[in-house]
Structure 1
């Protein structure tokens, strides 16, 4: 199990990756961001995300998965998704 010091953080919230899904935020909070890489292109030896699906979700385990989605968007790259996701998460957690 990874300790807190080795957790990747971005703007004060943890980033976790599982295959093509990236979760941004803490399950202890009311909201979390889910980023799904839907398409990649090859650039040299690297796979670069060129289509990304972004969702702001409630973390309430009693809700069905489709009822957890608050906002969603499709974006052209991972940077745009993380940037927009951090704004959505900040606003949602602050109650705005």
Structure 2
């Protein structure tokens, strides 16, 4: 019997988090905007790898927009993944409310 389970993503504040290498995408790809978090540096703390600098980008997902300058709506850098994700969540929430 085939198992028809839908794969569940890790979520933060009700939106999915998808990781590919050192890049994390936050938000639904079907929405007009998503957040891209790129880990620029990491450090070892008590034997654990912890992110240092993280680049944050609010990205327009409209396929008709091809210019990278038009795709990136906002960008910043923060120390630590939580700080970056928290700021990205605020940007995404505000951008989606404007729609």
Q: Which runs of 5+ in 2 are unaligned?
A: none
What is the TM-score when the length of structure 2 is the normalising length? 0.87
- Compare 36-45 and 84-93 and name the one that shifted more: 36-45
C-alpha distance in 1 between matches for 2:40 and 2:83: 14
1:67 is displaced (CA, Å) by 2.2
Q: CA RMSD in A?
A: 1.6
What is the TM-score when the length of structure 1 is the normalising length? 0.90
Greater gyration radius:
2
C-alpha distance in 1 between matches for 2:69 and 2:47: 36
Counterpart check, 1:32 vs 2:34 = yes
Counterpart check, 1:12 vs 2:27 = no
C-alpha distance in 2 between matches for 1:88 and 1:82: 10
1:61 is displaced (CA, Å) by 2.0
C-alpha distance in 2 between matches for 1:76 and 1:51: 5
Given candidates 61, 81, 85, the residue that maps to 1:59 is 61
Q: Which runs of 5+ in 1 are unaligned?
A: none
